[in-house]
Amino acid sequence: MVKTNPASLGSNTLTVVNTAKQAPKVLNTGKQGIDSDSTPPIIAIGTSAGGLEALEQFFTHVPPDCGVAFVVIQHLDPNHQGMLPELLQRVTPLTVTQAGDRMKIAPNWVYVIPPNKDLSILHGKLHLLEPLAPRGLRLPIDSFFRALAEDQHERAIGVILSGMGSDGTLGLRAIKENAGLAVVQTPESAQFDSMPRSAITAGVADIVATPPELWGKILAYLQHSPRGLHAVPEIVLELKNQSALEQIVILLRERTGNDFLLYKKNTIYRRIERRMGLHQIDSIAKYVRYLRENQQELDLLFKELLIGVTSFFRDPAVWESLKTDAIPTLLAQYPAGKSLRAWVAACSTGEEAYSLAIVFKEALVASPSPQPFKLQIFATDLDQDAIDNARQGIYPANIAEDMSAERLSKFFSKEGSGYRINKEIREMVIFAPHNVIMDPPFTKLDLLCCRNLLIYLSQELQKKLILLFHYTLANQGILLLGNAETTGNTGHLFTVIDNKSRLYRRTGTPFPLDVDFPTKFFPIAPMTNDTDKTPSIANLQTLADQLLLQHFSPAAVLVNAGGDILYISGRTGKYLEPAAGKANWNIHAMAREGLRHELIGALKKARGQVEAVHVSGLSVGTNGGSQIVNLTVQAITKPEALNGMLIVVFTDVAAPAVGSAIRKSASAAQKTLQIELQQTREDLQTLREEMQTSQEELKSANEELQSTNEELQSTNEELTTSKEEMQSLNEELQTVNAELQVKVDDLSRASNDMNNLLNSMEIATVFLDNALNIRRFTSHISHLFKVIAADVGRPLSDIVTDLDYPELQQDAQEVLRTLVFVEKQVRARDDRWFKVRIMPYRTQDNLIDGVVITFIDISETKKLEAELRNSDDKTP
């Protein structure tokens, strides 16, 4: 029976259906069923090489009335007609069809991606898209999984089976971000384990099992998760459930130190409900008990609440607006250049932080301003594991879907099967764990990016964070929010740069803001009335101590083992001065001329002994001349708080009187020194000229090396592209090979059936080609022709025969010419008779490719005819 999908719109796809199949039924879960007018739960299955066997093992266990729909995404050869629907239909009672454009998803159906097409989904309808590239790094599984996650949210289910590469990993992450279910085949049971192993390593797998076990585990999840069967309106928690929810928040805070009480209750409950479905727990109170007994489940639930919705250049229009409008305007505010600061809050695994760094680099290149600009990005997240992954800067090959080939080659380098962010981009970002709700914020920012975090928080907390963000930004600083987030009723604090992209610019306000700073590290001191207190004598003592230290004690500094200055006592300007450039509070950088080298030795010596180190008679250069100084360095062991530090004391020494003889000697020495200095200058000039020549030679060599490096890089990119294309071709060939192997098995069985049929009928048959050469024959032909297996390919006329049929060759040629069969009765030796039928040999393409000659033994019939004839002759 031939049947079309009843839910298809305008599709002419035909499907072979078993006529004895029962009508589709709704999954009987013991809960609410599937509304016939709504989209059923959709299970998307991604596979490539070695996937046919896994698919057959999976679908063998799916009943005909399962009540869900399946979409199979496989890496297919774009130039080869797909046989997967036909092959799957043999092992499953479900209706299997090739997906068509605008085809409505129906329960109890299996939809298979067509060759040379990408597949997407919108409001429960499948859509066929033209692939961006015929071969190479095509990721149809990731593409459909992402579309399914955005379309079905928590009702989406993704399954990864056998395959090469990492296609499907990012798609499973998107499904899990939307509270869907992520299922993976065990790598040990897969013919090719790269795809399953990639998903498991990325930490996105909820269920890992062999293909025969997967359906049972998915069914158990559907039966215990009402969101897997039907849409649910906004949740209103009962008082009892509310109490249990608060208990879970308390358990999470005790385990992780993070408070989720200000998160949206609906968001938390959906994540909890998903974990309950995985463990087949039907009440939140039971789940609280399960959490208290299993600390590992608390860790998994914490990870579940921290799923990061992120990818490189997510919402490309936003990053384009940032690059072409917001950042150039920001740079124009600083004509002399500046080191800018940015904060990417809730950065997850670092994609958005690196995207910001890349966009800034591109905007800087496009800027006409030659002034030096740098950007320091602070990227933070609550998840320590995500921060660790972000620091490594290694991402799977799938990221090629999220950016142009130019960006990929310029800012990433190939490493293994994935990509590593280049050093110049990595050094722009500092990653750190941080709780934006509880920890102190970064300040004096020029750009703040916080996308897709506020939507999970209560409105009250959203308002507090917007005020906090305003405080942290410098005047005219840029705020970037997610596409579903706004500044709310605090719009007077920001002007809109691009409302669609959620880009805002900070404005100053003449009124003080009631900023609610995180209190974890900012304890608020109790307010007291100073007028009620009388001045304490301790204040007088403190002031006196400060006066004595400032005017009568020697200048001294307290340093750590590395020379960093921790405390300064007295006036140290004659001995120390700030170094030019970036502020550096290190005594080695600040020591004046004449003091620096002796100070290094004294500090090193003092660290190795208990006694103080004294250095006398040092001449220290000052602005007004020089000063004789005695230096004392003492390592500190007590009190314990200062253990390991050193105190450096500077003591001025009065200069001795100098006589006229000494002056003359000094003058002569000065002249000698000037002569030597002049000679040294000449030597230095010669050396400088030699260095200039060497520098030019090095520059020339460097240019040649740069040219060679560019050629090597170009060759490497070509090899990478070729490798990706070869991998894709290999996967497609593996898939075609599996399908062809099934066909070969079918043909082998059909050949065996045909041979047994012909032999059982005892009809001598010979197949001849267009030249009347033997192509094949049955075993019974040996009773008429002296033919053996080695005679295949020889003309039949060359074979000795028992037939009295000299016109056989001529009749066969006539059949080939006229295509009209010939049938004759022919006599053979030993009084045998045969009915000979010569017919054209037709192929499936309706082409004539020789003749088929059959010989039916009619000896008994002839004998009976003769007997009857004799009987009639004897009858009077």
Contacts of 710 (CB under 8 A, 6+ apart): none
Contacts of 485 (CB under 8 A, 6+ apart): 451, 452, 454, 455, 462, 502
Q: How far is the C-alpha of 840 from the C-alpha of 533, rounded, in Å? A: 122
Contact assessment for residue 450 and residue 380, using Cβ atoms and an 8 Å cutoff: no
Contacts of 178 (CB under 8 A, 6+ apart): 149, 150, 152, 153, 154, 156
Q: Enter the tokens of residue 160.
A: 């990864």
| Closest C-alpha among 104, 76, 102, 83 to residue 7 | 104
H or E stretch including 480? strand 473-481
Q: How far is the C-alpha of 297 from the C-alpha of 274, rounded, in Å? A: 13
Contact assessment for residue 46 and residue 174, using Cβ atoms and an 8 Å cutoff: no
Q: How far is the C-alpha of 14 from the C-alpha of 96, rounded, in Å? A: 10
Question: Active-site residue among 8, 11, 75, 383?
Answer: 75
Contact assessment for residue 8 and residue 103, using Cβ atoms and an 8 Å cutoff: yes
- DSSP secondary structure string, 671-701? HHHHHHHHHHHHHHHHHHHHHHHHHHHHHHH
Contact assessment for residue 219 and residue 244, using Cβ atoms and an 8 Å cutoff: no
Assign 3-state DSSP to the chain and report helix, strand, coil percentages, each to 5: 45, 20, 35
Question: Active-site residue among 167, 193, 381, 857?
Answer: 167
Number of residues assigned to the chain: 876
Q: Enter the tokens of residue 663.
A: 């002056």
Q: How far is CA 427 from the centre of its chain?
A: 22
Q: Rg of the chain's alpha carbons, rounded to an integer?
A: 43
CA-based end-to-end distance of the chain: 63
Q: Enter the tokens of residue 33.
A: 């069923």
Q: Enter the tokens of residue 486.
A: 């706004």
Asked about 75 being catalytic, the answer comes back as yes
Contacts of 56 (CB under 8 A, 6+ apart): 87, 88, 91
| Closest C-alpha among 459, 471, 458 to residue 514 | 471
Sequence letter at residue 529:
N
Q: How far is the C-alpha of 399 from the C-alpha of 408, rounded, in Å? A: 9
Question: Active-site residue among 8, 11, 48, 166?
Answer: 48
Sequence letter at residue 239:
L
Contacts of 729 (CB under 8 A, 6+ apart): 135
Phi, psi of 609 (to 5 degrees): -145, 165
Asked about 355 being catalytic, the answer comes back as no
Q: How far is the C-alpha of 771 from the C-alpha of 816, rounded, in Å? A: 10
- DSSP secondary structure string, 119-131? EEEETTEEEEE--
Asked about 551 being catalytic, the answer comes back as no
Q: How far is the C-alpha of 84 from the C-alpha of 820, rounded, in Å? A: 40
- DSSP secondary structure string, 605-653? HHHT-SSPEEEEEEEEEETTEEEEEEEEEEE--SSGGGTT-EEEEEEEE
Q: Residue 209 gets which letter from DSSP?
A: E
3-state secondary structure 576-605: ECCCCCCCCCEHHHHECCCCHHHHHHHHHH
Alpha helices (H) along 257-294: 265-279, 284-293
Q: How far is the C-alpha of 559 from the C-alpha of 568, rounded, in Å? A: 9
User: Can the peptide bond before residue 639 be classed as cis, meaning omega within 30 degrees of 0?
Assistant: yes
| Closest C-alpha among 385, 490, 382 to residue 438 | 382
Contacts of 536 (CB under 8 A, 6+ apart): none
Q: Which residues are catalytic?
A: 48, 75, 167
